[in-house]
Structure 1
Amino acid sequence: MVASIGFPGLILILVVALVIFGPSKLPEIGKAAGQTLREFKKSANDLTGDVKDEVKEVKDIATKGKNN
Structure 2
Amino acid sequence: MTARELEVLRLFGQNRSGRQIAEHLNRSEKTISRQKRMAMQKLGIRCNSDLTDYIRSNQLA
Task: Give your verdict on TM over 0.5.
Answer: no
TM-score w.r.t. length of structure 2: 0.38
The structure number with the bigger radius of gyration is: 1
- Higher helix fraction (1 or 2): 1
TM-score w.r.t. length of structure 1: 0.35
